[in-house]
Structure 1
Amino acid sequence: MATEPSTKWPEMIKPSDSELTTSLSGSVRLRVPESGKAIETLQPISVPGYVKRAAETFPDTIAISWKEGNTWKSFTYSQYLTEIRTIAKAFIQLGLEERHSVCILGFNSKEWFLSDLGAIFAGGIAVGIYTTNSPEACQYSAEISRANIIVVEDEQQLEKIQQIRANLPLLKAVVQYSGELKQNDVISWKQLVEIGMSAPDALVDERLRNIAINECCTLVFTSGTIGNPKAVMLSHDNLTFDATAIMERLRLARGCEKLISYLPLSHVAAQVVDIYLSMSAGASVYFADKNALKGSLVDTLQEVKPTKFLGVPRVYEKIYERMQQIAAQNGFIKKAIASWAKEYTLQHHLNIINGIHSKSWAYTLAKNIIFSKIKAALGFQECTFFCSAAAPLATDIKKYFMSIDIPVMECFGMSEASGGHTLAVESANNLSSIGMTIPGLKTKIHNPEPDGQGELCMYGRHVFMGYVDELEKTKEAVDDDGWLHTGDLGRVDEKGFVYITGRLKELLITAGGENVPPVPIEQNILVELPHISNAFLVGDKRKFLSLLVTLKSEVDPKDGTPLDTLLSATQQWLKSLGCPATTVSEVLKAGPDPKLMAAIQEGISRANQKATSRAQRVQKVSILPMDFSVPTGELGPTMKVKRRIVEQKYADIIEKMYN
């Protein structure tokens, strides 16, 4: 090891002979090589050390900014450090013990950031809880993380905690940071700050002296598609190293980047970007309001004008759908000009993929006259990098954004890898990969087939410490050589591009013994049928493959539940087929119109042409009565499909296709 154990704060490393642990009080051996690239041997740093360095490097730069009424308020990095220390002191005063947790249940806010980092400064563990969790799921998270304090956003989230409070003997305080405080046994954010301000600095300084870089500082919960979610233990080095490696890959401009925080912070991708990557680059983070994913994000984009933007596929799909609606209202001349501009702009970005970097006059004209206005309308006029995470982004959506001069790069990671492992940049990108391995990290294919396809495995300082109290599952995830087994089927080409081709655990094995990865087949069908929201492949132990599909529909702005009303673009598509309908119920009443089923079948037939064997062709299809979502149970918190839930929920429809 290049880094020897040290007992001196602020960068203490405790002695350890193992790279894994399942104890919240445990420590691990860091994966710092003896020699190698500069990033690989980078000196380990704790989260408090990371914050302190940012405050010293960018003292007067805006760290975080939030809206109060119509006015933006801010903390500089030096103020940010002071506020974090204040919250840490308050948590200690309220009874937060070392190696115990502060659970946070709410939408992105300055209070979320301060609670997260304050818990870590106090020698505790920060734990984000999904806002969609039931009271029982909240109790599980609090119990396994040994929660002493729970921070909630408002009355709605508080109600969940009050229902289970009596079942949490380790819980010492509940803090509410938004809305009107109506219960005496709850502390307001103002009161929390006052408690911290009146406490001596020695309280937090003593805790800081006991912090080790190779101990757990954050828990992230997996989506729990089968049974209870696993509690992923991330060390200080996991998070600070991964954020630094991503920053180096992106070559961020130090002290002048602007980011918007709106993706759920209970998910590791949002944490590593919004909290840690921002600190690494001295970026300014602006908080969107809680309705960001329900339509208000564009307002924040227009005000802030971010320089980098991270989204999930659904965010880009919503922008695409809105742009399509606007385009449909244009006259012939505008459509012709737009078509010309998009053709040359798409070709420009495809040329970059192929190593051709010259700019045509047509692209330059389209960029400056047409697409600059579109970017301004979206709030993207200063944005130089767009990224999509959490799930594959359909190729046709990628091409559309390229055609309007917004090339979207894919990235890939998982909770167990601290957020990021591969990343595409415009100079190293293609339409079907998830980018290249981030420098300082390693990728290999386990047990590759003759075509190079096998299980995707990761190695590096970003690989997690273990699952809390789950030794067997930890050993299943990380082998004896320290490689994290993702469960994803993939390959790496001769240029170093990484591809995901399916999920090992999601493989369907037909009655004929054919192994079928559902994800690529589903993705091919979605490319052919853009008005289909979800394509779900069925066929395990069956004679042939069938498909369940959902039509794109509106969602309830309050909780994201799918509504019966179809999106206007979907309605227009149905009208063009000669089977007009405004709701899913109308489509399914007395059976779907044969013209609609024929159109869907044509799309499936086009996708079937890409099948590698006859057994991988879809033969039957059914339309479901409702789209998939988190509130209705088909999607997990990270937006991954819960395949068993879907199969159970629609078992009768599946059986009809085979009977």
Structure 2
Amino acid sequence: MDPASPDEAPTLLEKQDQGVEKIKSIEVRSAVGGSTALSRQPSEHVKFPTYNEPQVKSKMRKTGFPVKSDFAEDDPKKLIADYDDYVHKTELARGEEACFFTTGRTGEGRPLLMAERGPAAVAGHPVLEFLERAAEHAPRLPALMVERPCPVPGKFGEGPSLALNEWSVWTWKEYRDDVRSLALAILPLLKPLDSVLIYGFNSPEWVISALAASYCGGVWCGVYPTDSAEQVQFKMDHSDSAVVCVDMSEGVKKFMTVYEGLEKAPNVRQVLVWGCSEEEGGDPTLPKIPHQEYVRADGTRVEIKPWRKALTAGRDITDDSKLLGRIADIKPTHCACLVYTSGTTGFPKGVMISHDSLCYQVENGLSEKFGWAQEIGKDGEERIVSYLPLSHIAGTIVDIMTPLAVTGRCCFDEATGSIPGSACVYFVRPYDMKQGTLKFRIATAKPTVFMGVPRVYEKMMSGMQAMLHKLPEQGCVGKLKFKALRKAQRAALQTGKSVEFENLQKLQDPSLKKDALKPHGWSSFWERKLLLKLRRKMGLDQTKMFMSGAAPLAPAVQEFFLGLGIRLGDTYGMSESSGTTVVCNPRSGYGGRTTLDVAGVKGGKNAKTVINGQAAKMGAVGRPLPGVEVACFRDEVDSDGHASWVRCPVVDSLENPDAEGQGEICYRGRHIMMGYFANPRLGEEHVAEIAGKNKCTIDSNGWLHSGDKGCMDKNGFLKITGRYKELLISAGGENIAPVPFEQSLKALVPGISNVVMIGDKRPYNVCLITLLVTGNTGELPGTEELMGPALAVNKNCTTTRHAMDDPIWKDVIQNAIKKVNADSLVCANNAWKVQKFAILPRDFSVTTGEFTPTMKLRRDEVVEIWKEPIEKLYSAQASPSRRKSILERIMPGSS
């Protein structure tokens, strides 16, 4: 085929009559040899334009509400100032009110909030274009790595990795070819926008199945490995899945859950099984597939076969014209994946995420001018450890989309004929989280990018604290090491705080410079000599970016890691926003470079050059992404009793925000979900119910209502102060946010694992406390044996059962509660204070019901599971003076 000139080449979006000029796609090679073009392309060594260059025609505005902003396109000297204007002073051009959601998967009629310039201005494209580019740019570089066969679990906490040369590897070309082969195999079973349900632990088969669905013009839908049978069967039916891919590497339980739900899932036509002994070259120790077919009561049949058998069948198909036709029909506005919320009550909602939103998320982060992750992919291979559920939006963005975008983005180097960097995903073992062996996979992979939820970082912190507490017991040498490490941590913490946003502003201002915190003069030395060694032992010495999501990080956790030279970048978002909406810059020292080096601040010099790049602030979750508008709104009633929804003013201080500045966090932009999916087959009542939920979530001006309570300061930093659903309403009608108390108490008593404040419709507040124990992984509750800082409270008290009645433990916790109660920043008045507490006999976990699959606290479940100790705290008879105090607080003047 003779390549057409760039000006003549028709693009996919033009074929779809979207009226948007699109970056020219590269050639899509046939899986059966030869080549077939998705669209005609320019010459072989064309320099692809970067995604942050505007590629949008004026008639794009016909389909969306543009974002207006003052933005200097070419002058690099103005980038810092213009970044602030672009992020924090955007205004959406409003016309008539519109419907910004849909219940169907095509996305038709839903306006996109495009920007005039920057990452949010670039035309959308299907996810598969990333994979095609990656296979062309880096065909021989590793893309996916996993230990096969997977070693059997040993004792708890023991499980060294295989040598890397023993891991199974997919190169980027092999990855792309397997995706296309599986797509060819399942194409006859899938109509456009049908679903492929994937139920299993993170693995190459998981991501290959997901992208195969995408190549067929379908939708991938993940299931949490910890989901109940009822939840799995609901998702299988609700998603209208035509193909189910299920993992049997840990036994037949998942398969049987799917098998037993096939009767109520009429759209399923095939079940593909990986991790079974029947697979080509399979491990004979793995289980056999119990059934080869399922016949429903109406006579319809469901074929069941090994996943690799389908892959092999796809490789043998010689005609891929139908697949290429299906690919050509994919629109960026189509649904790419369904992400089910991990709700605490009832059945979850299916969040529809479009191709456009997924691609915008990663392209925004990697943007050369404004990307908060712009360093990623610029210096060799990036390594990502995949352990968070791929069915969660964080796993989707970090483990699937980021490697695709890093390796397949349009930053082609004309001189070398390659891209600057690539990315590889290292899959952990299915039992690592349960067995406490994740640390071995991290140490082997040495990730350059690491994503965790707060609970994971808390477990890391408690493990390191336990190790540090043992040093003084190792004689004089151990005591010297302990003192040196403490000194190093203090130095690194001071330097880390000195390069935060507000301190950098002070360093710029001659009148405030004397009050600014200066970087510690010895931090660079200590970080290189001691802290880097500690990080190397953990496998985190080459990690340049640490991210946290799903819930706000406690300040104590942030400070601990900052003391190791590690900046944990808080991110804020939800499934409904395709992941990140707000982010704190997560740059950190790595590879022998210190935090000070990365920040570019030496003794306060050059602060101006990093003031926006650093963009970090303790206690805040960050600032909005470019092209995203974030605001807080609250109800206001005027003198005539008319209620209105008003925008909250910015607060002077995030540490002590006033009530007027706090409201519901809302945001809008190109990253917002298409809507919650309604399956018409489930009836009109179901469709109406989902439409109602969509309307409550996304209003007629495009604002997505998060349900979170928060505030913003003048620099655009956002702080979460609570969640409206979590607010405790006391018997006296006071609204109480429990999280500040819980985090403060944990910070004062490092031996505490979890704190839950109780007080909804109660006369006073109490709290439940769990302690650090061996064997707790978040998935499992662990043992009763205390560990680390929990052992240091009373060396004669070694179990939770002993601690429950131990006077020393009671005094330590009671004194800490008094301190927190006395802190006016935490407890606004007496109604916020905690009066009693109980130590529980075990810790919380996913399997025992207190955590969601992403380790968020399920407060209602905690109250139900632990109702007996809660009732005891309230049933204990109060003294006359205590009763008088309570009555006075609830009913002033009653005494």
Tell me the TM-score normalized by structure 1.
0.93
The 2-side partners of 1:571 and 1:543 are apart by 31
Q: Are the structure 2 counterparts of residues 203 and 358 from structure 1 closer, same or farther at C-alpha, using a change threshold of 3 Å?
A: farther
In structure 2, the partner of 1:171 is 268
Q: 1:243 touches 1:280 (CA, 8 Å); kept in 2?
A: yes
In structure 1, the partner of 2:170 is 75
The 1-side partners of 2:852 and 2:463 are apart by 26
In structure 2, the partner of 1:290 is 430
149-158 or 360-369, which moves further after superposition? 360-369
* AA matched with 2:772: K
Q: 1:152 touches 1:176 (CA, 8 Å); kept in 2?
A: yes
In structure 2, the partner of 1:457 is 666
Q: Does 1:566 align with 2:769?
A: no
What does 1:559-638 align with in structure 2 at a 5 Å threshold? Answer: 560-569=779-788, 571-576=790-795, 580-588=796-804, 592-610=805-823, 611-638=827-854
Q: Deviations over 1:418-457 (max 9, x none)?
A: 1111111151112201111122212111123754110001
The 2-side partners of 1:350 and 1:244 are apart by 29
In structure 2, the partner of 1:249 is 372
Unaligned 5+ runs, structure 1? none
The 2-side partners of 1:73 and 1:649 are apart by 43
In structure 2, the partner of 1:503 is 723
Q: Deviations over 1:491-526 (max 9, x none)?
A: 111111110000111211112221111122222222
Q: 2:63 touches 2:112 (CA, 8 Å); kept in 1?
A: no
What does 1:337-352 align with in structure 2 at a 5 Å threshold? Answer: 337-352=484-499
Q: Deviations over 1:571-619 (max 9, x none)?
A: 513424xxx333323334xxx2233222111111121122121211111
Which residue of 310, 314, 320 maps to 2:455?
314
SS at match of 2:774: strand
Q: 1:32 touches 1:41 (CA, 8 Å); kept in 2?
A: no
In structure 1, the partner of 2:194 is 100
The 2-side partners of 1:505 and 1:560 are apart by 24
In structure 2, the partner of 1:219 is 338
Q: 2:128 touches 2:215 (CA, 8 Å); kept in 1?
A: yes
CA RMSD of aligned residues (A): 2.4
Q: Does 1:206 align with 2:415?
A: no
The offset of 1:58, in angstroms, is: 3.6
The 2-side partners of 1:424 and 1:106 are apart by 32
Which residue of 213, 222, 227 maps to 1:133?
227
In structure 2, the partner of 1:280 is 405
Q: 1:507 touches 1:516 (CA, 8 Å); kept in 2?
A: yes
Which residue of 353, 360, 383 maps to 1:258?
383
Q: 2:224 touches 2:853 (CA, 8 Å); kept in 1?
A: yes
In structure 2, the partner of 1:541 is 761
Q: 1:537 touches 1:548 (CA, 8 Å); kept in 2?
A: yes
In structure 1, the partner of 2:239 is 145
Percent identity over paired residues: 33
In structure 2, the partner of 1:117 is 211
Q: 2:489 touches 2:564 (CA, 8 Å); kept in 1?
A: yes
In structure 2, the partner of 1:269 is 394
The offset of 1:545, in angstroms, is: 1.3
Q: 1:390 touches 1:638 (CA, 8 Å); kept in 2?
A: yes
The 2-side partners of 1:441 and 1:546 are apart by 40
SS at match of 1:174: strand
The offset of 1:18, in angstroms, is: 4.5
Q: 1:28 touches 1:465 (CA, 8 Å); kept in 2?
A: no
Q: Are the structure 2 counterparts of residues 308 and 150 from structure 1 closer, same or farther at C-alpha, using a change threshold of 3 Å?
A: same
* AA matched with 1:249: W
The 1-side partners of 2:851 and 2:263 are apart by 30
Q: 1:107 touches 1:264 (CA, 8 Å); kept in 2?
A: yes
The 2-side partners of 1:26 and 1:237 are apart by 11
The 2-side partners of 1:340 and 1:587 are apart by 32
Q: Which has the larger radius of gyration?
A: 2
SS at match of 2:243: strand
The 1-side partners of 2:765 and 2:570 are apart by 29
The offset of 1:554, in angstroms, is: 3.2
SS at match of 1:563: coil
The 2-side partners of 1:106 and 1:500 are apart by 33
The offset of 1:135, in angstroms, is: 1.5
The 1-side partners of 2:234 and 2:732 are apart by 42
* AA matched with 2:123: Q
Q: Deviations over 1:113-160 (max 9, x none)?
A: 101111111111100001111211111001110011111111231121
The offset of 1:358, in angstroms, is: 7.5
The offset of 1:28, in angstroms, is: 4.7
Number of residue pairs the alignment of both structures matches: 647
Q: Does 1:89 align with 2:184?
A: yes
Q: 1:126 touches 1:218 (CA, 8 Å); kept in 2?
A: yes
The offset of 1:638, in angstroms, is: 2.4
The 1-side partners of 2:485 and 2:63 are apart by 62
Q: 1:433 touches 1:500 (CA, 8 Å); kept in 2?
A: yes
Q: 1:27 touches 1:216 (CA, 8 Å); kept in 2?
A: no
Q: Deviations over 1:262-292 (max 9, x none)?
A: 1111111111111112211122222122233
The 1-side partners of 2:403 and 2:692 are apart by 35
Q: Does 1:529 align with 2:749?
A: yes
SS at match of 2:135: helix
* AA matched with 1:501: T
269-278 or 321-330, which moves further after superposition? 321-330
Q: 1:298 touches 1:378 (CA, 8 Å); kept in 2?
A: yes
* AA matched with 2:358: L
Tell me the TM-score normalized by structure 2.
0.69
In structure 1, the partner of 2:116 is 36
What does 1:422-433 align with in structure 2 at a 5 Å threshold? Answer: 422-425=582-585, 426=587, 427-433=614-620
Q: Deviations over 1:335-373 (max 9, x none)?
A: 221121111111111111122697654112111111121
The 1-side partners of 2:246 and 2:747 are apart by 40
* AA matched with 1:311: G
Which residue of 96, 105, 112 maps to 1:24?
105
Q: Does 1:492 align with 2:712?
A: yes
In structure 2, the partner of 1:368 is 528
The 2-side partners of 1:358 and 1:52 are apart by 48
Q: Are the structure 2 counterparts of residues 212 and 168 from structure 1 closer, same or farther at C-alpha, using a change threshold of 3 Å?
A: same
* AA matched with 1:620: K
In structure 1, the partner of 2:683 is none
